[in-house]
Amino acid sequence: MVTYQLKYYTPAVLYFLLIITLSSLNQTTVAQYTWGIQDFILHVIEYNLFGVTLIWAIYREKPVMELKPSYRLALGVGALFAIGDEFYQSFIPTRVSTMEDVVADILGLILSLITFSLMMKIQTLEKFRKHA
């Protein structure tokens, strides 16, 4: 049972650890690897992917009719993580915590609902989800 849960939650946990690691880095170090992409767009992309891993972890093998509660829970958990991440960044000397980043994060989470829905329409991914 534990390995069953681990295989679903591991991507979300690892991705969250990546987010926290990036939040811990010096702002100039992070800026070197953003390739000139605006911060708002990076936050949307980052939390879109995080939202997909959260939905995957929460949804697991539930029937399609239980997808909406999984979406709500993933959105709520993701939003709490986004707020917590920005709060954490406020203690990092070279980082700036802004409400704009939280808005971008939540927008990314909302987009992840659409992304996940589209992904589940791909037959190969649906089969993988059922047999994972």
**Residue 100 neighbours by CB under 8 Å, 6+ apart:** 40
pLDDT at 62 over 70: no
Task: Answer with the residue of higher pLDDT: 26 or 114.
Answer: 114
For residue 125, the Cα-to-chain-centroid distance in whole angstroms is 19
What sections of 37-95 are H helices per DSSP? 39-59, 67-89
Number of domain units in the chain = 1
pLDDT tens for 63-95 read 666 677 888 888 999 999 999 999 998 898 888
pLDDT tens for 16-53 read 999 898 888 877 666 666 666 787 888 899 999 999 99
Question: How many other CB atoms are found less than 10 A from the CB of residue 30?
Answer: 16
Q: What is the arithmetic mean of pLDDT over 4-21?
A: 85
Q: Which tokens in the block code for residue 107?
A: 């927008």
**Residue 57 neighbours by CB under 8 Å, 6+ apart:** 8, 9, 11, 12, 74
Q: Which tokens in the block code for residue 33?
A: 């690897």
Q: Determine the structural domain holding residue 109 and report its residue range.
A: 2-131
How far from each other are the two terminal CA atoms of the chain, in whole angstroms? Answer: 13
